[in-house]
Structure 1
Amino acid sequence: MSSPVWFITGASNGFGLLLCLRALRANQRVVGTVRSKAKSADAVRQIESAGGQVIELDLNEPKESITRKVKAVGQIDYLVNNAGFFVMGAVEQVTAEEAQLQMQTNFFGPLYVTQAALEGMRLRRAGAVANLSSIAAKDPQPTSALYAASKAALEAVSESLAAEVAAFDISVLIVEPGAFRTNFLAAYSAPAAPLPDHYEGETAVARAREYFATGGGTQAGDPQKGVDRIYEALTGEGLAGKLKGKVARLVIGPDALRRMRKSNDKFLADLALGEEVALSTDF
């Protein structure tokens, strides 16, 4: 029996690179994607020297191109949609082009990759899809609205997809990390338009912008531990292995857990307050 094949997008750094190397250490086959092999030479070297393969794939490519590249891989047992980026700015200052790029990279790209991989999984009646979201999808913060929206959209598709493909023994896992010490914050994209004057000073937007601009390298989360939990939840091994097939979401990081509980508490409180109104609308 051949080793399972992992297809992991965004393998140039962070979770993507570490997950490629984690799977390779377990003697699994790995295909990682980067936008440019030349610009990601160190990651390519690490993955290939460990026995993996790297292909160039930009999630902003046309759907036909993404589909062709994914299908060319052949068998995919574990699909991990990890690639993404962060447009950091107030809702009012984000341009149409920036909003479209955020959604293309974080939502439409993963959607097209998943569509291309599903046929093979369905025919084999086996497979797992892991979509890297963020706690921001459930607890959006000022200046992260577009990023949070793209991840929330990915989560909604994931939940619907899970119900659609369960009959084919394909599992879907949403991964919701908190703040991990990767280059994520250092690589954020600032809007081209300036921040309107009224947001300067002691506002939620100004405080969030300062945090995101200076918080890189101070995050409490250990990326290797985060990747280990993802690997375990998908394969059924280790500490998180007991969660395989039992949870729709893998929340990783104490900060993510706190924010998720806070978000859930607010939702339940709103539901309780509005119960009489909700029940008042039938014929």
Structure 2
Amino acid sequence: MANLVWLITGVSNGFGLALARTALAAKHQVIGSVRNKNASADAVREIVEKGGHVIEVDMTEPQQSIVMKVQAAEAKYGRIDVLVNNAGYSILGGIEQFSEDEVLRQYRTNVYGPLFTTQGVLPGMRTRRSGFIVNISSVGGQDSHATGGLYGATKFALEGMSESLYYEVKEFGIGVLIVEPGLFRTNFLHALETPKKILPEGYKGSVVDKTLGLFSGMLGKQPGDPDKAVRRLFEVVTGNGSGGKLRGKVLRLPLGMDAVERIEKKTRTVLADVAEARKLEEDASTALGK
């Protein structure tokens, strides 16, 4: 595939920075976004030295601001071929703990921001009848566990939006991919936030309390290699390499065997529930028929 113009949000570290490096090494054009260039000076310097560009976008900005910044970035090369909505963060805790401000900030970053960047690129992609939109979700976007209620809610929302987008833009030659990473050795766990409200005493020893205690011990021990994951993602988007055969054929891309197995398990429970509902409906239909 010819060299592409990428817009990747959240390139200060983790998957975003690794993907920017991969695309630049392949001689593609990269525009990355960070919330603050000074706070991400090392990443900004590396990307610029390798021929990329970096803009400042806070994913909690108002709709018009984000759309305008995306379209200004698009004007640099006259197009954006691939949008990767990678920027995001997680606040973990019991549902009882979250304040309104925490809920709004989590949704603005993980849902509203990607929605607005997508609105920024769609007119150009639709006119050219080509493009690819990649939304970085999480295994938690399919299978939400204790403490992940708010984060999972935003990723479920992102996936719901992405599913609709897939059907809306397919006829314009625009592809959509939902990426669901498992646990990888990025700074994701290091950057986890918890609610300002202390976990109520009644939760002591509960699944919420125990789960929160697990994360600190997992730092640096996550099974996934982020560079390998990014390489697979890059192949699926560009249609090259072993992952290239999946381009345009899948809507979801779980990354990491832990994600694959967890989603498989979740799917089995959903199918089991649906099977029980089928029996109930069939029994009800039979009873009404009599």
The two structures share one fold, judged by TM-score above 0.5: yes
User: Which one of the candidate residues 100, 105, 113 is aligned to 1:101?
Assistant: 105
User: Which one of the candidate residues 148, 153, 160 is aligned to 1:149?
Assistant: 153
Note the C-alpha offset of 1:214.
3.0
User: Which one of the candidate residues 128, 131, 136 is aligned to 2:132?
Assistant: 128
User: Which one of the candidate residues 185, 188, 193 is aligned to 2:189?
Assistant: 185
Give yes or no for contact 1:35–1:57 (8 Å, CA) kept in 2: yes
CA distance in 2, matches of 1:162, 1:214: 38
In structure 1, the residue matched to 2:21 is 21
Q: What pairs with 1:1-283 in structure 2 (closer than 5 Å)?
A: 3-74=3-74, 75-201=79-205, 203-279=206-282, 280=284
Structure number with greater Rg is 2
Fraction of identical pairs, as percent: 49
Give yes or no for contact 1:48–1:54 (8 Å, CA) kept in 2: yes
Give yes or no for contact 1:57–1:66 (8 Å, CA) kept in 2: yes
CA distance in 2, matches of 1:141, 1:250: 20
CA distance in 1, matches of 2:2, 2:171: 24
Residue deviations 1:234-269 (CA, integer Å, cap 9, x gap): 011112111100001011101001101100000011
| 1:278 to 1:155, Cα distance in 2 relative to 1, 3 A | farther
Note the C-alpha offset of 1:4.
1.4
Find runs of 4+ consecutive structure 1 residues off by over 6 angstroms: none
Query: Secondary structure in 2 aligned to 1:80?
Result: strand
- Counterpart amino acid of 1:243? L
Query: Secondary structure in 2 aligned to 1:206?
Result: helix
Query: Secondary structure in 2 aligned to 1:187?
Result: coil
Unaligned runs of 5+ in 1: none
Give TM-score, length-normalised by structure 2: 0.94
- Counterpart amino acid of 2:68? R
Query: Secondary structure in 2 aligned to 1:194?
Result: coil
CA distance in 1, matches of 2:90, 2:270: 26
| 1:209 to 1:34, Cα distance in 2 relative to 1, 3 A | same
Residue deviations 1:114-154 (CA, integer Å, cap 9, x gap): 01110000000000000000001111111111000100000
Query: Secondary structure in 2 aligned to 1:32?
Result: strand
Note the C-alpha offset of 1:3.
3.1
Give yes or no for contact 1:63–1:112 (8 Å, CA) kept in 2: yes
Unaligned runs of 5+ in 2: none
CA distance in 1, matches of 2:89, 2:183: 14
CA distance in 2, matches of 1:216, 1:33: 26
CA distance in 1, matches of 2:117, 2:162: 13
- Counterpart amino acid of 1:97? D
Query: Secondary structure in 2 aligned to 1:174?
Result: strand
Give TM-score, length-normalised by structure 1: 0.97
Note the C-alpha offset of 1:212.
2.1
Query: Secondary structure in 1 aligned to 2:190?
Result: helix
Give yes or no for contact 1:184–1:216 (8 Å, CA) kept in 2: no
The CA RMSD measured in Å over matched residues stands at: 1.5
| 1:272 to 1:114, Cα distance in 2 relative to 1, 3 A | same
CA distance in 2, matches of 1:109, 1:212: 26
Note the C-alpha offset of 1:2.
7.5
Give yes or no for contact 1:99–1:146 (8 Å, CA) kept in 2: yes
Residue deviations 1:6-57 (CA, integer Å, cap 9, x gap): 0000000000001001000010000000001000000001101110000000
Query: Secondary structure in 1 aligned to 2:179?
Result: strand
